[in-house]
Amino acid sequence: MAPTLHRHAPRAPNRSRTIAGRPLVTGPHPLLGPSGAGPRRLPRGISRRSLFRGAGAAGMSALLAACSIPGIGVSGYQPVTDTSATDMTLNWANWPFYIDTPDEEAAAEGEAEPTTLEKFQDETGITVTYTEDVNDNDSYFAKIQPQLTGGQAIAADVFVVTDWMVAKLIRLGFVVELDHSKIPNFANMREDLTQVSYDPGRKYSMTWQSGLGGIAVNPAATGGREITSMDQLLTDPALRGKVTLLTEMRDTVGLVLLDMGFDPANFTDSQFDQAIGKLQDAVDSGQIRRFTGNDYGADLVQGNVAACVGWTGDVVSLQADNPDLQFIIPDAGCTLWSDNFVVPVRSPHKENAEKLINFYYQPEIAAQAEAWINYISPVDGTAEAMEEIDPDILEDPLVFPTEEDLAKAHVFMGLSEEQENRCNRAFAKLTGA
């Protein structure tokens, strides 16, 4: 039986839910305080992951165009002098709604605990300019690429982007190696994240947050069927016309590769083509309703879609409208995506950036951030630290998946420029982008 990661919308405390058929007793919903009365942090309404997934065909077209530009890359790069010791500043670009924020009610009463970023500044004396400039990977790349190609510094000294974009930045020479001797808390990184194919040994990147890609299900629309595999989505006649897939190639194709017995972290061109062929058959048969960004949500909530490829963050948000929605880890496994810290070339504050990364790899700091963000922490010891902050969150399998569930999660392999162009073109043809 596939694990069902099911988090209800805010209702009454002490609800029950199941994961892999096992009952879990939960306390108040993570968006509520211990009494269940009043928000502990700002409700987002839309997952941060959703923001950059809405680009759809336009995003794919932009990606194909960017991959085809000749001459992109740093030529003859010379490291700049690091002024961190004398210039105690740092510019950090991140996604919207992706860090803990002050509790306004507690602040008004003079009882607010400092945020993690405030603690970092107080502890180190480094003044951080924090911006929410990364609305999606492609648009941020388009913003910074001309300057980086020209050997110029960009506005950020450290920024956060997704796995595949990290691979691209490394390939183009746009990011610098991290000095692990100045990030001793690197030892706290979850072992499954330390040897990703796109950055072996994590020379250039360290994870900020992670999440899962799998199957989102509206049980009322499936006719009582238990959904355990991608094959069901692609071939079950009872689901015909009620299935959507994502325009994100790495999640959609990654899940099909797993279903076919292949490894998304190490596949051949032939295996990729077989996965595309299986998807094409489903499209041709009318099984697939459409390919979507995060806009599958309304159809899933209303039951127009019975099952789809989706993300944990979206399902959390959608359960506010339909608390019966579920997130399923297929028997063959699911995809694991991560958003990662990287330092761009020509940043004069690399050591300050390394201090920031090291700070957030302290379990107690990671737990404080996690209590607001609600994605999957990359830091070992976060669960233990969360016992002191909000133990109810530990019972939420979307935020703290079991080791068994994480063992089924796979990272899509890093692609060469040739592979990326080939895969993107095949997928764009499939989706009609």
Spacing of C-alpha 143 from chain mean position: 21
β-partners of residue 93 are 131, 159
Spacing of C-alpha 212 from chain mean position: 7
User: Element (H or E) spanning 208, and its range?
Assistant: strand 206-217
Contact between 314 and 49 under an 8 Å Cβ cutoff? The reply is yes
Cα(54)–Cα(64) distance, integer angstroms: 17
Cα(371)–Cα(40) distance, integer angstroms: 9
User: CB count, 10 Å around CB of 21?
Assistant: 9
Q: Which of 343, 412, 427, 422 lies closest to 198, judged by CA?
A: 412
Q: What angle do CA 211, 96, 388 make, to 5 degrees?
A: 60
User: CB count, 10 Å around CB of 78?
Assistant: 8
Q: How far is CA 161 from CA 3, 89, 175, 318, in A?
A: 28, 21, 12, 24
Question: Exposed (0-12), middle (13-18) or buried (19+): which is 139, by Cβ within 10 Å?
Answer: middle
Contacts of 203 (CB under 8 A, 6+ apart): 177, 178
Two tokens, residue 214? 């799998």
**Scanning the structure block, which residue is given the tokens 């839910």?**
17
Domains of the chain: 89-210+338-399 (3.40.190.10), 211-336+426-431 (3.40.190.10)
What is the pTM for the complete model shown? Answer: 0.77
Contact between 427 and 249 under an 8 Å Cβ cutoff? The reply is yes
Q: What's the length of the chain?
A: 433
Cα(244)–Cα(234) distance, integer angstroms: 10
Contacts of 191 (CB under 8 A, 6+ apart): 380
Query: Per-residue pLDDT for the chain (433 aa), expressed as one digit of tens each?
Result: 566 554 333 322 222 222 222 222 222 222 222 222 223 333 334 454 555 444 444 444 444 444 444 456 665 567 789 999 999 999 999 998 899 998 777 767 777 789 999 999 999 999 999 999 998 888 899 999 999 998 899 999 999 999 999 999 999 999 999 999 999 999 999 998 998 888 999 999 999 999 999 999 999 999 888 999 999 999 999 999 999 999 889 999 999 999 999 999 999 999 999 999 999 999 999 999 999 987 899 999 999 999 999 988 788 778 889 999 999 999 999 999 999 999 999 999 999 999 999 999 999 999 999 998 888 999 999 999 999 999 999 998 888 998 899 899 999 988 888 999 999 999 999 998 6
Contact between 13 and 280 under an 8 Å Cβ cutoff? The reply is no
Cα(336)–Cα(412) distance, integer angstroms: 8
User: Element (H or E) spanning 106, and its range?
Assistant: helix 104-108
Q: Which of 265, 401, 244, 396 lies closest to 319, judged by CA?
A: 396
Cα(83)–Cα(51) distance, integer angstroms: 35
Per-residue model confidence (pLDDT) at position 33: 27
Helices then strands, counting H and E runs in the chain, come out as: 16, 13
User: CB count, 10 Å around CB of 23?
Assistant: 8
- DSSP character for 80? P
φ/ψ of 369, rounded to 5, equals -65, -40
Per-residue model confidence (pLDDT) at position 181: 98
Per-residue model confidence (pLDDT) at position 31: 25
